[in-house]
Amino acid sequence: MWYYKSTRDDRPVIDKLTELAEQLPTRGFDTYYGRIRQQGYEWSRSKVLRVYRLMNLKMR
Examine residue 1 and state whether it is found in any structural domain, yes or no: no
Examine residue 4 and state whether it is found in any structural domain, yes or no: no
Examine residue 2 and state whether it is found in any structural domain, yes or no: no
- pLDDT tens column, 19-29: 999 999 999 99
Q: Is the pLDDT of residue 59 over 90?
A: no
The model's pTM: 0.83
Q: Which of 27, 6, 43, 7 is nearest to 16 (CA)?
A: 43
Examine residue 42 and state whether it is found in any structural domain, yes or no: yes
Domain ranges, residue 21: 11-54
- pLDDT tens column, 27-57: 999 999 999 999 999 999 999 999 999 999 8
Four-CA torsion 39, 43, 45, 46, nearest 10 degrees: -160
Examine residue 44 and state whether it is found in any structural domain, yes or no: yes
How high is the pLDDT of residue 5? 85
Examine residue 37 and state whether it is found in any structural domain, yes or no: yes
